[in-house]
């Protein structure tokens, strides 16, 4: 029976089987690495269904990769005089699947970091390829995933060679007509496999994999090559560039209603003039510290039992602390942009990259107009994410980056350690303080991001490196405040602490709340003599107006941020590339771009979707978030951000 099967079909079947087996191993690795993050027990049935779903997506990818090689195999099996096909077919198959296995290997650390399967978003880092390669090379965790990749291509090459040699040695008489008919039938089956579904209306889509209330198992069934291709196709679609969630005029009208103002300025519909505070104007220095990956979940205040942030926990009791603060997105560029310019993240749009840099009216511009000096500190390459160019185009006088530090202090791809950046900044700030006008200083830390580097002089109590680096980040904050407290400008300075984003410490919902839940602290012994905690919802986009309120300075607010001390939000919203979430103290709403909507009682870790039961709640939360997102898209396109 085996001898009656044409060699092209026999080879294709064995290649499919081999590739599916390797895809299965990568999925198994991801499963065992991530399953411990689940807060509830897993159903064996759901795990099995997830792996079966994975088989469907793996067959889709195998089909895409094998279409052209199968045609080459078929042509050569019929006419062996075409020797060029003999040489090309083997290496064509090997190269295509090598690339696919590489994506699978890269997907594992990508999912660990972003709580999402591999997508075109990963290549947005490629604006600084040398920096990215240095960062990857400097992080041993990433090296580990090279091992299964190398093993996979070695085994694939070895068995593929065996498959081809086996069929070449076999003396099989070619019957052209039966071979052609069977090949056409096989090609049809491959096309059905590529489509992934027998239903006529729609082929297999990302949403097909979502079969349960468990977000990890839903995503586990996906093949990262599928999500990469799908995200690229989605990105190049015209309708996926500027968002169209609702009518622009409706969005603007809703925003004005939410914030309680009207505007006759059609060109600047978000603009409102904020008068000086009657309590008095304080021309204080402002220091904003954006902490890399400092999820609120790493603090004892928010339930962490490891006592990783004793200083930040202590400091949170000595200022205005907002317990329910959420970052705008899950990327550092989201955190920098939204904190300093008070606009939200728009799915995968990168606000700071682009050949034309837009001019915003953020806190840097506002304070610069009021005579402040402005400076930004980062530990590494200032060109990464186009931060340096963007900030300099938006009224930041100086950007201190890796090029400014002694080369001997650069310890990894992420540049100098946090505490060195802080120590280096003190003379810089002393120089600025000697001028007649105050200063705005922004810090972006980096140590709590791989490749991790813990200086030998710091002695953590934790054994796990990920915990040690959190301890070190906290130590660095303490060192900075200690050094700053010894300077003459300390008592005249407002310090603000916020994360760029959190860390995916939980995995119960389709968005990781710990990935967006951030500390937010306004600290100054003189400006805030009476500490207080706030339970209201808050976001990075509110930091700039709240600072201006604390300073009591008059300014023009042309953003979507609000002064948290004067206005309470009913909800806050955040973005995770292809979805957004809206949250208050009771409900978590998740809305995907494919229109899936989930509403959850997140405080009790309830996985039940109440979207159909609580339709009014869903509508209010969606309208609130989408009004903000659409309003930003509108003013961005019309130039009304200035």
pLDDT in tens, 208-256: 888 777 888 888 999 999 999 988 887 777 655 788 999 999 999 999 9
In the prediction, which pLDDT does 625 show? Answer: 98
- In this structure, of 186-200, 566-580, 607-621, the range with the lowest mean pLDDT score is 186-200
Reported as a single tens digit per residue, the pLDDT across 517-545 is 999 999 999 999 999 999 999 999 999 99
Q: What is the pLDDT of residue 126?
A: 61
pLDDT at 402 over 80: yes
Confidence of residue 1 (pLDDT cuts 50, 70, 90): very low
- CA–CA gap between residue 124 and residue 348 (Å, rounded): 9
Q: Which of 56-65, 75-84, 264-273, 488-497 has the lowest mean pLDDT?
A: 75-84
User: pLDDT tens digit string along 13-42?
Assistant: 999 999 999 999 999 999 999 888 776 667
Nearest in space to 566 (alpha carbons), one of 546, 543, 537: 546
- Of 497, 561, 492, 560, nearest to 322 by C-alpha is 497
Written as one string, the DSSP assignment of 409-474 is G--BTTBS-HHHHHHHHHHHHHHHHTSSS-EEEEEE--TTSSSP---TT---S-SSHHHHHHHHHH
Query: Model pTM?
Result: 0.85
Residue 260 has pLDDT above 80, yes or no: yes
Name the one residue in this structure whose structure tokens are 């069929």.
167
439-444 vs 373-378, strand pairing mode:
parallel
Residue 458 and residue 468: Cα distance in Å, rounded? 9
3 state DSSP class of 11: helix
639/548 Cα distance (integer angstroms): 24
Contact by Cβ (8 Å): 113, 332: no
Predicted confidence at residue 464, as pLDDT, reads 94
Q: 634 φ, ψ to 5°?
A: -65, -50
Mapping DSSP onto H, E and C, the string for 399-415 reads EECHHHCCHHHCCECCE
Angstrom distance (rounded) from CA 346 to CA 637: 13
Rounded mean pLDDT of 393-402? 93
Structural domains of the chain in order of their starting residue, each with its CATH number: 2-239 (no CATH), 271-570 (3.40.720.10)
CB 135 within 8 A of CB 451: yes
Per-residue confidence band for 125, with pLDDT thresholds at 50, 70 and 90? low
Task: For 322-353, write each residue's pLDDT tens digit.
Answer: 999 999 999 999 999 999 999 999 988 888 87
Sequential DSSP letters for 232-295: HHHHHSGGGSS--SS-HHHHHHHHHHHHT-----TT-TT-EEEPPPTT-----EEEEEEETT--
Q: Tell me which of 255 and 169 has the higher pLDDT.
A: 255
């Amino acid at each position: 029976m085996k001898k009656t099967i044409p060699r092209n079909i026999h080879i294709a079947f064995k290649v499919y089987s081999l590739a599916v087996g390797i895809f299965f191993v990568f999925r198994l690795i991801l499963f065992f690495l991530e399953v411990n993050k689940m807060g509830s027990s897993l159903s064996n049935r759901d795990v099995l269904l997830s792996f079966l779903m994975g088989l469907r997506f793996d067959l889709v990818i195998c089909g895409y990769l094998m279409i052209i090689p199968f045609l080459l195999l078929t042509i050569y099996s019929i006419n062996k005089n075409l020797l060029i096909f003999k040489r090309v077919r083997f290496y064509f198959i090997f190269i295509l699947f090598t690339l696919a296995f590489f994506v699978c290997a890269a997907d594992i650390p990508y999912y660990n970091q972003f709580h999402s399967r591999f997508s075109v978003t990963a290549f947005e880092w490629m604006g600084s390829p040398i920096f990215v390669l240095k960062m990857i090379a400097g992080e041993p965790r990433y090296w580990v995933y090279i091992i299964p990749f190398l093993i996979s291509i070695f085994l694939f090459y070895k068995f593929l060679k065996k498959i081809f040699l086996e069929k070449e040695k076999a003396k099989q008489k070619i019957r052209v007509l039966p071979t052609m008919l069977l090949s056409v039938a096989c090609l049809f089956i491959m096309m059905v496999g590529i489509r992934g579904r027998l239903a006529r209306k729609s082929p297999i889509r990302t949403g097909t994999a979502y079969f349960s209330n468990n977000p990890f198992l839903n995503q586990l069934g996906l093949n990262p090559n599928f999500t990469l291709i799908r995200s690229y196709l989605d990105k190049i679609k015209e309708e996926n560039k500027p968002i169209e969630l609702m009518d622009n005029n409706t969005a603007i009208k809703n925003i004005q209603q939410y914030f309680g103002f009207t505007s006759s300025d059609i060109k600047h519909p978000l603009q409102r003039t904020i008068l000086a505070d009657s309590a008095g104007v304080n021309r204080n220095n402002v220091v904003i510290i954006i902490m890399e990956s400092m999820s609120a979940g790493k603090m004892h205040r928010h339930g962490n039992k490891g006592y990783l942030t004793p200083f930040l926990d202590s400091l949170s009791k000595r200022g205005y602390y907002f317990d329910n603060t959420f970052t705008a997105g899950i990327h550092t560029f989201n955190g920098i942009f939204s904190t300093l310019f008070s606009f939200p993240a728009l799915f995968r749009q990168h606000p700071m990259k682009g050949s034309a840099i837009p001019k915003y009216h953020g806190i840097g511009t506002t304070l610069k107009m009021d005579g402040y000096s402005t400076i930004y500190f980062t530990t590494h390459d200032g060109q990464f994410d186009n931060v340096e160019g963007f900030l300099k185009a938006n009224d930041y006088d100086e950007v201190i980056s890796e090029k400014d530090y002694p080369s001997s202090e650069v310890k990894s791809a992420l540049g100098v350690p946090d505490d060195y950046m802080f120590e280096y900044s003190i003379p810089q700030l002393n120089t600025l303080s000697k001028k007649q006008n105050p200063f705005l200083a922004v810090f972006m830390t980096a140590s709590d991001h791989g490749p991790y580097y813990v200086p030998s002089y710091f002695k953590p109590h934790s054994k796990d490196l990920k915990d040690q680096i959190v301890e070190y980040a906290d130590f660095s904050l303490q060192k900075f405040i200690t050094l700053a407290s010894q300077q003459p400008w300390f008592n005249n300075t407002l310090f603000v602490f916020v994360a760029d984003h959190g860390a995916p410490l939980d995995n119960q919902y389709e968005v990781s709340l710990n990935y967006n839940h951030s500390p937010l602290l306004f600290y100054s012994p003189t400006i805030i003599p009476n500490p207080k905690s706030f339970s209201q919802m808050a976001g990075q986009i509110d930091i700039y107006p709240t600072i201006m309120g604390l300073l009591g300075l008059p300014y023009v607010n042309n953003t979507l941020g609000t002064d948290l001390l004067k206005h309470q939000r009913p909800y806050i919203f955040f973005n995770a590339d292809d979805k957004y979430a809206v949250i208050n103290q009771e409900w978590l709403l998740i809305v995907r771009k494919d229109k899936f909507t989930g509403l959850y009682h997140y405080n009790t870790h309830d996985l039940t979707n109440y979207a159909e039961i609580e339709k009014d709640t869903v509508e209010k939360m969606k309208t609130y978030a989408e009004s903000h997102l659409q309003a930003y898209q509108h003013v961005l396109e019309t130039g009304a951000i200035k």
